[in-house]
Amino acid sequence: MNRILCVTLVLLLLSACFLLRMQNAATEGFNFDAAELSDTKLWTKVNDQPHHISTELDGLCRAPMSQDYKLEAERSGNPHIAASINVYVNNAGKEAMFEKQPHFPEGSIIVKQKLAPFHEHNQPVLYTVMRKRKAGYNPAVGDWEFSVVSGDGKQMQASGKLGSCQGCHVGKKDSDFVFRPYVKLQ
């Protein structure tokens, strides 16, 4: 009887581990640490100065907040008030980032650090991350996984085959589904 009980418990434990592993598969092996972005051995900052983005693009990455409506009122007097981004790429994707027709290898990670003028000290309000996964993961957009991380870099808010991200990136097949208006091409 003890042997049957032990085997049953082991099988239940293995099943629980398998289910937990399946739940975490979308972000497996991926730990985002915003503090690491300053490590030039791991990351390259792609743009010299923050790249200003349009109001429309600003609103696509997250739902509008009350600050955004205040900002819209300010923009009517000064259209140059806008959110901006800094973009970082890891070593795996660095070479491709600066090519005219890039093909990012598996393991490439691109981080967009979003800054907003209404935020105190122009601190990040959001990070969006693209991670190139194994072929077949997400063929509709070149096997990219998309993640949204809180401005403090501590909370993964969403990750995987995010429809809101894919909807925009699907049209950029010619650049391996990556927008790069901030890049000085070689």
pLDDT for residue 134: 96
57 Cβ neighbours under 8 A, 6+ residues apart:
none
pLDDT for residue 86: 93
Single-letter amino acid code for the residue at 28: E
Q: Which of 165, 158, 151, 155 is CA-nearest to residue 118? A: 151
How does residue 173 score in pLDDT terms, banded at 50, 70 and 90?
Answer: very high
Angstrom distances, CA of residue 155 to CA of 18, 25, 40, 139, 158: 24, 17, 23, 27, 9
Percent of the chain whose pLDDT exceeds 70 = 65
Cα 132 from Cα 92, distance rounded (Å)? 10
Cα 80 from Cα 114, distance rounded (Å)? 16
pTM score = 0.73
**pLDDT for 15 beyond 80:** no
pLDDT for residue 140: 96
Residue entry with tokens 């601190």: 123
Cα 7 from Cα 152, distance rounded (Å)? 45
